[in-house]
Amino acid sequence: MEELDHRRNLADAVYAILAPIYPDATPLLRYRNCFELLCAVVLSAQCTDEQVNRATPKLFAAWPDAESLAAADIDRVAETIHSVGFYKTKARHLVEASRLMVEKHGGEPPSSMEEMLALPGVGRKTANLVLSACFGQPGIIVDTHVLRVALRLGLGAKADPANMEARIAELVFPEKRSRFSHALNRHGKFTCTARKPACQACPLALICPRIGLPPS
Ligand code: SF4
């Protein structure tokens, strides 16, 4: 119980510090609608947001909605997105997910976690991101940046996204979860980076145990 209280207090403090620094609680991926967001997040696995943002304009120009992408030739889609990692698998996922969206959801991303996870290429990170951005549902989006920062802070102990999502859910009220995730994501991207965390300049330095890092 004491340990849970400690992590709750820590999460409260992290939120209080980071939320004003990163007030924009939206994805860094570029998109114009929920279909595009879902495609962009599927493409972002093992890939930077910048790489995805460079690839999606061509993809959406050729196939602007789920109907057209569902009918697309997978090899042509793969060719169009070849600059992102695992492009062949991702092309297949995009076309198959579009087919399911057309068949079952009127050509739009579905609004429940269960239906989201039934789409090819969609895991909990993608589902939480789309459900929060498109449907206002509380989502804890554990991508590589969020996982790394949360581990260093000690919000959870396992390097496993599903486990970290559950740990953060114990600490953060639903209405704050999306914002908390986006703030942690940006903090990981710009300050608490994988190779060279800027601990000296970090606004969390006084409360961060820097788990897994050498003493400063
Ligand atoms: S103090 Fe260092 S390890 Fe902790 S959050 Fe800041 S940059 Fe990351």
Quick one: how far is CA 62 from the chain centroid? 25
CATH (domain of 61): 1.10.340.30
Task: Let me know if residue 120 belongs to a domain.
Answer: yes
Residue with tokens 């709750």: 8
Task: Let me know if residue 103 belongs to a domain.
Answer: yes
Residue-by-residue DSSP string for 30-84:
--SSHHHHHHHHHHTTTS-HHHHHHHHHHHHHH--SHHHHHTS-HHHHHHHTTTS
pLDDT in tens, 166-206: 999 999 999 999 999 999 999 999 999 999 999 999 999 99
Question: Does 58 qualify as catalytic in the annotation?
Answer: no
What token pair was written down for 42? 């599927």
Task: Let me know if residue 215 belongs to a domain.
Answer: no
Query: Which domain covers residue 181, as residue numbers?
Result: 2-24+140-201
Question: Does 90 qualify as catalytic in the annotation?
Answer: no
What is the pTM (predicted TM-score) of this model?
0.91
Catalytic residue among 49, 90, 143, 189: 143
Could you tell me which of 60, 59, 61, 56 has the C-alpha nearest to residue 77?
59
pLDDT in tens, 102-158: 999 999 999 999 999 999 999 999 999 999 999 999 999 999 999 999 999 999 999
CA of 180 to the centre of ligand 1 (A): 16
